[in-house]
Structures are given as C-alpha cells and as structure tokens.
Structure 1
Amino acid sequence: MQTMLALPQPIAYAPIAAGPEVSVSGALTALYFSDSSYTSAAADDPPIELFRPRLKEPYDFAARLFEQGEPAGRSSVSAGAISIVNADGALDELLGLGWAGRTIELYRGRRSAPFSSFNEVFRGTCDGITWTTRLITIRLRDRQDILAQPLQTALYGGAGGLDAGEDLAGKAKPQCYGQCFNVPPAAIDTARQVYQVHDREIEGILAVRDNGAALAPAGDVAALALADVFAWDPQPGDAGTYITDVSQGVFRLGSAPAGRVTADVLGDAFGGFVSTTADIVRRIVSTQPLVGQINDPAGLDVASFDALNAAQSAVVGFFASAEQQPSIAEVVDRLLAGIGGYWFFTRRDGLRVGRLEAPVAGGRVIEQGRIADTTPISRRLLQRPSRARRVAWAPLWAVQDPDSLADAVAEEDKEFYSTPARLAAASDDGVLTKHRLALDVEVPALFAFQSDAENEAERLLALHSQPRDVYTLGLVDSVFQFEIGDALTLALGRFGLDQGRPFVVLSVEENAARNETLLELWG
C-alpha cells in the first residue's frame, strides 16, 4: 500500500506578466510524490506520470464531530503534516513557489494498481511549508478554512444611489436569509429615506416600523411602474407609508421617520427563496465569491443536504448588518447549532451537513476480532442528562428599549420588540429523580415560528434526557474507512453489548504507520 500526494498549481511569489497563477516557467504546475516509485498508466489522469519516491512518513488524521456535549456547528479537524525528503537538494527550486493556500490531495492504493483505482483520503490546502537540509514539511489545512472568509464581501462605495452615501463608504452591505424579524436596515440615502436589507433580490418585506409603529405598504416599484425607489416622488398623503424594490433588497419611506427604522424581511431570493437551515447554508456557501469556490452540486454532499431538509424543514432566518463582519463559517455554525446540527468536509464528497439523532440500527458491525489490543476499550459519560430544553424562536436582529418606542405601540408589542427572542420549553422533572445534576439548557435557535421551536425542544429533550455513553476503542486494518457521523453497531462481550448496540462515530484518529484507527462512539 502507498500514500500518494498531488499538489496542483503552486504559484510563484515573483511578479510575472502573465499573472499570478503560474509557475516560474510560466505554466501551471502540478507536483506528484509517493512513498515509493510509481508511474501512472496511460489511461489515468494524469497519464504516464512519475510520482517521485520522496514521501517520508505515512499520513495521520484526526476529526471530531463536536467538542462539548452536543453539536455546535463545525467539526474539529487536525490535518497534520507530510514530509518530503530533500537531502540531495534536488527540490530546492520548489521552495520559491507559492505553496500556501494551494490544494493538497492525498491518495492511497496498491503499487500494482492504476491510479484511477486509488482512494482519495484527504483533500485540503497547504498552510505553508518549512524546510531543513533534509526535509520539506508541508503543513495541511482542512477545507473548513474556505469558509473562514467574510459573509459580506460587497461593500458600499459611497457614490450615491444604491452605492450609498459617503457615510457608508467601505461598510459591508447587509445580508438577509430566510425570515428575519426587526432587522436594522442600512440607511443608504438619508435625505430620501432609502434603506437596504440585502444586497440582491429578496422575496419580500413583510413590515416596516418607525420606532415600533407600523407603516403602511404602498407597493413595489414593479407594480408602481417606477424605474427604482429613487424615481418615487412622495406626496404629503404618502406620509406613514413605504414602497419596496425587492429586486434590490431596498425600501423607501414616504416621509422622514421619527426614530429608528426596522423591518421584517423574507430574505435572499437569488435563484428562488430559501428558508430552511439546509437550503440557506447551501445558498450561502455556493453563491458567495469564495477563494476555493464550493461548486453546487460537485462540491457538496447533496444527499446530506436533502436528508437534513427532510428531517428539519422549519423556517429560520439569519441577518448580518452593515456593522457586522461574520465569517461564512460563523454563520453556518449559528444556523446548524440552532437545530442540533453539524458540518464538515468529507474525504471525497465535499461539504456534509447533518443533525445529531438517537443512534439507530444499521451501518457496519464492529466485533471483538477487529479491535486492537494496544488500546483498552473505555466508556465514559459525555454530558449529564437534561431535565429541560428551552429553544429560541422569532429572534430580533435589533432589540429596542421599550421607552424609546412610539406611544401608539401596544404594551405587548413593546415587550416583544425589547426581548431578544421568545423561548419554547420542554421539561421532564422526573429526570431529577435519578440525575440530581441534570441540566437546563437554552438553545439560541433561529426558528421563525413557535410551533417549530416547541417541536425542537421536545426532540432535544427526548435525545438528551437520558445518559449518553462514549466508547473509545482502537481498530486494526481500518485506516481511511470511517467518517465522523457514520452509523455503526458495536457488538462486544462486555458492557451489555453482546447483542450489539447502535452508535454514531463521534471522533476518528488515524495512524497510518500502525494501520490503526482510534474511534470514539456516541450513543
């Protein structure tokens, strides 16, 4: 067996007239190495390519589905490093190439087999290189780093109109997805009372308020036969109204506001309105101008997105104002953590999303004969059971002081606009009978509707009101076979597992040199 390395397109640091993504010679470069001499077949891609036998150490990998007692969005990955032998100095010329951020692909297969039969065991990027007189060491980064880029890449230029005034020059344009309540729009033209909630087409604006007092909708520019909101000439009778231009994510008031302007919005509709967690995540990661683009569907584990939509189809929402700069990863974390979900990049299928569920029978069966003698099987409690779950719904993206709201606003509405979110609760005090230290957990979810939050609270309570064990065990002859989140059954002669019990793979730690895998199983 051998591990293969393909390093596509390292770039030169020196400026070259042809552009940055070229090698010193002026052509795109790919580098191929292996742990022993190997040449691909004529029918392979790449064809008849010599993989130089310079890889020094087998590749090690570790990943964990979640760190604490339950998912909070992204998994954690330790991609490690690989070393290339360069004692003879034959590769010194490579040190000047632009390695950082370039794609790294690792494959594993038999020396006698064509490269097309090899399995891809890692795809990520280079975090940089270090070198000595003997070795070039390539530090690896998981593809999660692709999503470390800002959600809001479009900035206002300050030239007026949709480009906003000079006061917003350099500020990020707001982003709105799904159904969002009480968002603080960007005031892109204060003289003409024009506001923006999203930097492209939206589904609609449900309400606009001035200091909490509702304004009356007067139509969209398309229905009013206006070129845009700037073409509107409000008359005295238009006071207390607003018009919209959903194609640009903007609205305009018919008169100057008395105080703070907020809106309820149905967000991004670029390619159709999306409102579920899975669909919003998919829209964001596949339409933002990422360095290292995630293509839809090739860069996604589409089946996982479909499965998550089937499991959780509730309406949610996320808003980022002109004052914020969250990364895409932070936004995806927030969305998925609100439904007990997670995300990570698989070895082969791209970005995968999921939701922690009670383990069910299925998947491969792990029996005593596959367990390594080097690691004793251990069992521990991951998190104390829960006696109550409180799940947020209708979160406000602008929380207002009740004393600042208009006198005409009803008291119950003042309470609504001054409360960050409402909570749906599910509890079982019977859990305390056995578990004196049972938890009361609040989930900062993004549900639009109370019924969906209530359903999620009940689901989470059922999932976490009982103790959940974590088993740790080592397996032989099993590297590069498991993904975090996989379902499997553990059948042992100990711990009451003789009939087999279903688990979810919580963590994977692989040691290719020993051909062993350390698993943590949750269930």
Structure 2
Amino acid sequence: MAMAYLVEIDAYVPAAWITGADGVGLLADPGTALATEPRVETLRFSSGLGFMSRPDDRPPNAYYEPRVSVPFNFERLIFTDGTSAGAADTGYGEIELVNPDGELDFLAECGLDGRQVRLLHGDEAGPLADFELVFVGTVTQPEFSWRRVVLPVRDRAEELRKAIQQNVYAGSNQGPAGVEGTADDLKDKGKPLTFGRCRNVPATCVNGSTLVFQIHDGPVAAIPAVYDRGLAMAATTDYPTVAALTAAAFAAGQYATCLAMGLFRLWSRPDGAVTADVDGDATGGVLAGSVAAVIRRIALTRAGLAEADMDRAAFEALEAANPALVGYFQDGGSKAEINDVFDALCASIGAWWCFDRLGRLTVGRLEAPAGEPLATLTPVELLDSGDGLEILPAHDLADGTPVYRVSLDYQRNWSRQDDNDLAGGVADERRAWLAEDLRTVAATDASIRAVHLLAPELTVETLLDDAEAARAEADRLLALHGAARLRLVLPVKCEYARGLDLGNVIAVRIARFGLSGGRLFVVIGMTEEYETGRVTLEVVG
C-alpha cells in the first residue's frame, strides 16, 4: 500500500489565471467550466504520482497535481520557551512544491496569505473519503526559487494577530442626539472593551450634552458602581434603549444605565474623572467571567471563529479546573491583538491556548501529570542520534531551579488615582486601594531553600479579581514549580506519536534519571517531520 499526502490550499485567484490566459487552465478540475471572475479557488497538490478523487467522492473527480516534494515540517510549543503559562508559541512550518517547469509561477499573483491550508494522508489507491485530515492551518506569503515554491505554514493562531477592537466612533452626534461622539473628540477612535469583572475603569464620554458615558462596545451584565473623582454615585434605573436613557429624569449624584449598550448617564456634570466598576460583556444575556468563558466569548464575537472552530470539551475542562472571575479592559486607544489578550488571560491561571491539528481553538492548564498515559515510550520507541536524550530547564526562571516563593498580583485597578485626583470625601481605605495598580498574595515554602540554596521567587501578574482565588492559584503554582521537575526532548518515529497532541500525558521508561520504573510527563511541544517520519516531543514531568 503506497501512501500519499494531499495538500489543499484556498487561494484568491485573479480572473486572468482562471480563464486560462496562457492556454493552460491550471486551476480547473477536469470537465469543469472555467470562471471569468476572480474568486477563491481550492488548489490541490499531492506527493507521489498524483491523485484523482473518485466520481462518488466529495468533491468528485478532483485532480491533485504531483507537486509536493516536502509534505510538511511543523513545530508547535504550548508556551514560549522558558515560560509555563499564557504565551503560546505559534506553530510554524512549510510545504515545498516542485516547480521546474514554471507552471506554478501563477501563485505569485494569487492571494494566499491568510488562507486556509489542509494536509491529508492516506492510501493513494483509495478514495478521498478514506484520507485522514492531518492538519488545518494558514498559509503566509509563498517563497519562490527557480525550481520550487515554499509555502510557509502557520497554525490558525496567525488569524488572531489582529486588533481585538475593530469598531470606532463615527463622530456623528447632533447635539443631544447620538452616542458616537463628534468630529472634534471621538471620531475614528476605538470603542472601549470590558470582559469579566473590572474595577474602576475609565469611562468614555460619548455625548457631552446628555452626559452619556460608555464602558463597553456591546451589552454588559452590570454597572454596580460609578465614581466621580473617587466618590460613589447612587444607581437608579436601567433603560432598554439609548432614547429611553437620554429621556430619563433623575437627580444629581445619581446615574442611570443602558446595559444593553454598555452605557450609563449622569444627571449633573462631574467634577473630575468618571470611572466605573463593571461586570462586562454579556452577549447573549450571559456574563463571561472565567478565563475559559472570556476566551471563548472573544473568539466567537471578536475573532470571527464559529462554534465548529472550538474544542468544546477542552473549554469545559478548563472552566471546571478554574472558574474564578477575571477581568480585562481596554480603552479606545489600545491596539491590543487578540492573541496577546488570550496570553494575558491564560497567564492568570497557568493555562495555555493554541489551535489543534484540525484547526480548532483549544485550551488547557499546565499541571503535574496524572492519570492514564496515552503512550509509553521506552528505548524501543526512542530515536538516539548518538548524544542521548536532551534535558532542558524545567521551570520558568533561569536554569530551572525549583522556586521557593510565588508572588501573585491580582485585582487590577484600571485607573490608578492619587490624592490630587480624588474628592475630599473619599475614605482613607478607598484612597489606599485607588493608589495601587494591583493587590498581591504570596505562597512560600522555606524548606525548598534548605535543598536548593539558589531557589528563586516567581512573580506572576494576573487578571484574577478575587483574593481567595489568587491565593489558591499561588499555592498551586508553588506546588507545581517548587518540586523538582524533568523536561526532556524525545525524538520518536512518527507511528509512535500518532494520536498525541499538546497537553497529552505520556509515560517514559528508560534506565536513567530515575525513570526505570516509568514516570508521567505532559507533552508541551511537538516538531513533526513528515518527510523523515520523525516526531520530536518536548515533555515535562
């Protein structure tokens, strides 16, 4: 049985190539009519001698041109090297197509960057339906030489390297009418975003005539407090529409809300900075408050992903592991990208995010490995190039020495104010809170320094809101990073890594480093070389 790789690439193709301007007609499946307008086409290539789908396949009679030289090399890490939370290291690799005849030169005129690529593997004599979908990712700009075309491939995280906020104020207010600001103040400035529970966020005045302020571009769950120079105002009524909010009558020192639009209104002109406590985005009538829930909400409402793009089981598992409230806010001047927001959220609970092989957004949390391993690796499965196994530092800091103390920051003040910013009636306790950006809890185990004299302190900045949740996470991180860990690089044959993915638990049993009886590890990195049939696993345990 001869195996083949199939590559499918979505491409924006100019009309001249679709209509076969040079008489070649490269893009048409046999027997199909050529289009005359530019459109997105699926380009198909194969390894080996080429492949034709069967009449009853979907799509039928589709020809995969024999151009694939190097089917796929791909590397992914759950975390940026040297860290253990948050910052996913985007997967990258390449597919190489042979082009000695120049028939693929047309790709230089196609729009490939940002388009989806799919890699399939199966019996070249079998039906297309029997091919296994190995990977779904994104192509960047192709690289050309005289004899080949190299397609740089990224996982779908590349799609999230865009600003989380695309909406801006129109600047279209007409006196008391409108909540879009004017050409003189807000026009073309971004709208604020609030997810989860955020405290003391700076409010944006969207109509100076009616004293309407905005704290989120969309519906919010609650605005439990509004402050003028640090003094709390009295809440009144929530109104369903902007018109109702604008027409409402109440008293000085009070505020009314339109939660459906992320707005509130004051009756009297404020003396200074206006801030608010907010339970943020409530799309669908539900507050997204945990790390898992906020990432999912952003993915579905801001990143352009659909339910089918989500690893639902993974999100449910992370929610169960840590449902604690977090908060993320950005004002209209922020250009934060979605991937960076996901990193900050995940770093709050020692979690990670990435796209799996099938292009689904997935999440997990780094924990000490436990449970039944998906695979057991011994010297039989491991490939030894002569230098043995590579051992890397296992912890976040320096040389991987276990930490003796974890300091964890939480409950961010999104608008720090000193005494000069505050009204005279603000209580001392409130003043102290407003003067600091963050609160801090710490977990310490001095006994670790009795063994490791150079044991360092780990400092973690989070978006957690609650003190107890922060303390629990600090304790968890100390237990995880205060213990001696082993981080290995394990080269194996492809067949022994089949079915493994990032976050999976495996066992390693070798006659070194205390592993003769077997030990559990978590897969945190994978380098897959489909041409050589080699997979290099990076694991920690």
User: Would the TM-score normalized by the shorter structure come out above 0.5?
Assistant: yes
Superposed, 1:52-63 pairs within 5 Å as: 52-63=65-76
Q: Which letter maps to 2:530?
A: A
Query: Residue 201 of structure 2 contacts residue 414 of structure 2 at CA under 8 Å; is this kept in 1?
Result: yes
> Cα 1:106–1:401, aligned 2, differ >3 Å: closer, same or farther?
same
Residue number in structure 2 paired with 1:32: 44
* 1:470 equivalent in alignment to 2:487: yes
Whether the aligned pair in 2 keeps the contact of 1:301 and 1:349 (CA below 8 Å) is no
- Partner amino acid for 1:229? L
Match of 1:294 in 2: 305
Deviation at 1:131, TM superposition (A): 2.2
Q: Which residue of 2 aligns with 1:430?
A: 447
Q: Give 1:90 shift.
A: 2.8
Aligned to 1:139: 152
Question: Can you give the 5+ residue segments of structure 2 that lack an aligned partner in the other structure?
Answer: 19-33, 395-399
Partner residue in 2 for 1:2: 4
1:11 Cα offset (Å): 3.1
Q: What letter is aligned with 1:60? A: N
Q: Does the CA contact (< 8 Å) of 1:338 and 1:445 recur in 2?
A: yes
- SS of 2:151's partner is strand
Find 1:351's aligned residue among 361, 368, 383: 361
User: 442-451 or 172-181: which moved more?
Assistant: 442-451
Residues 474-513 of structure 1: pairs in structure 2 closer than 5 A: 474-478=491-495, 481-513=499-531
After superposition, the Cα gap between the structure-2 partners of 1:50 and 1:354, relative to the gap in structure 1 and judged at 3 Å, is same
Which of residues 100, 110, 131 is equivalent to 1:118? 131
1:342 corresponds in structure 2 to: 352
Structure 1 contact 381–467 (Cα < 8 Å) conserved: no
**Within 5 A, what are the aligned runs for 1:163-312?**
163-166=180-183, 167-222=185-240, 227-233=243-249, 238-271=251-284, 272-288=286-302, 290=303, 293-296=304-307, 298-312=308-322
**CA contact under 8 A between 1:179 and 1:318: conserved in structure 2?**
yes
Kept in 2, the 8 Å contact 1:402–1:417? The answer is no
Q: Which amino acid aligns with 2:233?
A: L
In the alignment, which of 381, 384, 397 is matched to residue 373 of structure 1?
A: 384
Residue 31 of structure 2 is matched in structure 1 by none
Q: 1:407 aligns with which of 424, 440, 459?
A: 424
Any idea what the Cα deviations from partners look like across 1:408-445, whole Å, max 9, x if unmatched? 11111101011111112111111111111212122111
**What residue number does 2:397 align with?**
none
Q: Distance in 1 between matches of 2:507 and 2:258?
A: 55
Does structure 2 retain, via aligned residues, the 8 Å contact 1:187–1:193? yes
In structure 2, do the counterparts of structure 1 residues 379 and 92 end up closer, same or farther at CA, with 3 Å as the change threshold?
closer
Q: Which amino acid aligns with 1:10?
A: Y
| Equivalent in 56, 69, 74 of residue 43 of structure 1 | 56
Question: How many residues are treated as equivalent by the alignment?
Answer: 509
The answer for the alignment partner of 2:473 in structure 1 is 456
Q: What SS does structure 2 have at the residue aligned with 1:163?
A: strand
> Quick check: 1:300–1:350 contact (8 Å CA) kept in 2?
yes
Matched, 1:79 2:92: yes
**Distance change >3 Å, CA 74–CA 91, structure 1 → 2:** same
Give the residue type in structure 2 aligned to 1:466. A
Relative to 1, partners in 2 of residues 1:377 and 1:94: Cα closer, same or farther, differing over 3 Å?
closer
Q: Deviations over 1:13-53 (max 9, x none)?
A: 9899xxxxx97654542111111221223332222222111
Q: How far apart are the structure 2 equivalents of 1:441 and 1:118?
A: 47
Determine the structure 1 residue equivalent to 2:338.
Answer: 328
Measure, in 1, the Cα distance between the counterparts of 2:228 and 2:274: 5
Deviations 1:318-356 (A, max 9, x none): 111112121111111111111111111000250111110
Q: 2:375 aligns with which of 342, 345, 364?
A: 364
Q: How many angstroms apart in 2 are the aligned matches of 1:154 and 1:49? A: 41
Cα displacement string for residues 446-503 of structure 1 (whole angstroms, at most 9, x for unaligned residues): 1121111111111111111112211122112336643222111111122221221100
1:178 aligns to what SS in structure 2? strand
| Helix, strand or coil at the partner of 1:309 | helix
Would the aligned equivalents of 1:208 and 1:262 in 2 still touch at CA under 8 Å? Answer: yes
Pair 481,125 (structure 1): closer, same or farther in 2 beyond 3 Å: same
Range 419-428 or range 117-126, more displaced? 117-126
Task: Give me the TM-score of the superposition, normalised by structure 2.
Answer: 0.90
Cα 1:154/1:178, change in 2 over 3 Å: same
Q: Using the alignment, how far apart are the partners of 1:12 and 1:141 within structure 2?
A: 24
CA distance 1:96–1:388, shift in 2 (3 Å): same
CA contact (8 A) 2:382 2:492 kept: yes
Partner of 2:246, secondary structure, is helix
| Contact in 1 for aligned 2:14/2:38 (Cα 8 Å) | no
Larger displacement relative to structure 2 (34-43 or 313-322): 34-43
Q: Deviations over 1:376-395 (max 9, x none)?
A: 21334322211111222221
Cα distance, 1:131–1:69 mapped onto 2, change above 3 Å: closer
Instruction: Give the residue type in structure 1 aligned to 2:295.
Output: V
Amino acid paired to 1:2 = A
Residue type of the alignment partner of 2:293:
D
User: Aligned AA for 2:465?
Assistant: A
> Secondary structure in 1 aligned to 2:357?
coil
Instruction: Name the CA distance, whole Å, in 2 between partners of 1:364 and 1:46.
Output: 36
Separation of aligned partners in 1, 2:464 and 2:243? 35
Q: Is the 8 A contact 2:15 2:38 kept in 1?
A: no
Question: Please, which moves more after superposition, 131-140 or 57-66?
Answer: 131-140
The CA distance in 2 between the partners of 1:59 and 1:68, in whole Å, is 23
Measure how far apart 1:398 and its partner are.
0.8
Measure the CA separation in 2 of the matches of 1:14 and 1:246: 52
**Which residue identity does 1:276 align to in structure 2?**
S
Paired with 2:54 and 2:436, the residues of 1 have a C-alpha distance of 66
CA RMSD of aligned residues (A): 2.1
Relative distance call for 1:511 and 1:26 in structure 2 (3 A) is closer
Which residue of structure 2 aligns with residue 19 of structure 1? none
* 1:521 lines up with 2:526 in the alignment: no
Q: Percent identity?
A: 33
Counterpart AA for 2:210: R
Q: Determine whether 1:317 maps to 2:335.
A: no
Alpha-carbon contact 2:71-2:96 (below 8 Å) kept: no
8 Å Cα contact 2:15-2:35 kept in structure 1:
no
